[in-house]
Amino acid sequence: MTPISSATAGDRFGRRGFLTSAALGGATIVGASALGALDADAAFAAPAPSLDPAVTETSFVEGRIGAIRGGLLTAASSEGETHRVQLTNATSIWKARPTTADAIEVGDGLYARGVPMPDGSIAADAVWVNIVNLHTTIRGIHRDRFYLSHGNHELVGRTIPETAASYAGGALTSDLSRLRIGQAAQVLGAWRPADDSIDVVRVTVGH
């Protein structure tokens, strides 16, 4: 587990206390989460118990961001609920790649993991913005994009510097030359609300 520490050496906080203090700007947290992995795969992994015994409850929320005020995101979930997600200086943010809060925009979708606060908000440990994980079929391959079908929907997947492929369970590679039209492909990426395309982070075929 990656350790966490505050600006004051020797201080001992529970995770909830850490995040509360961070949300109020009173603490600097260095390092990654005690709540679990932070990579894109973690967004779709089965919930796991917290690695920190100080945290007995972890929450996951999803929704479309309707407002951003400072570090507070307000999102409407697909089930009609309203969630308030507080970013802290410990929050890890993913939007096709690790990024900062400046990359989050109104209209983006979020999937957030964090600790429930007494006011009903969630102090976010990790936020994945616009993340998608789709089972598709490759319909076309161009230099900088794929044409994909997902059910009855046609999608454009854009390649980005981070785009990698996994063939038959092999290690990720930047070599996309073995992708073929007609292949079934699992695509992990970030949705672009502006034009409904996807920045493709990973294409998995033959698994």
**What six digits make up the tokens of 203?**
């294409």
> What are the φ and ψ backbone dihedral angles of 161, each rounded to 5 degrees?
-55, -30
How far apart CA 42 and CA 36 sit, in angstroms, is: 8
pLDDT (tens digit per residue) in 68-107: 999 999 999 888 899 999 998 889 899 999 999 999 999 9
pLDDT (tens digit per residue) in 153-201: 899 999 999 999 999 989 999 999 999 999 999 999 999 988 889 999 9
Question: What's the average model confidence in pLDDT over 2-18?
Answer: 36
Tell me if the pTM is above 0.85. no
Q: What percent of the chain has pLDDT over 70?
A: 76
pLDDT (tens digit per residue) in 59-78: 888 899 999 999 999 999 88
pLDDT, residue 118, reads 85
Give the end-to-end CA distance of the chain in Å, rounded to a whole number: 30
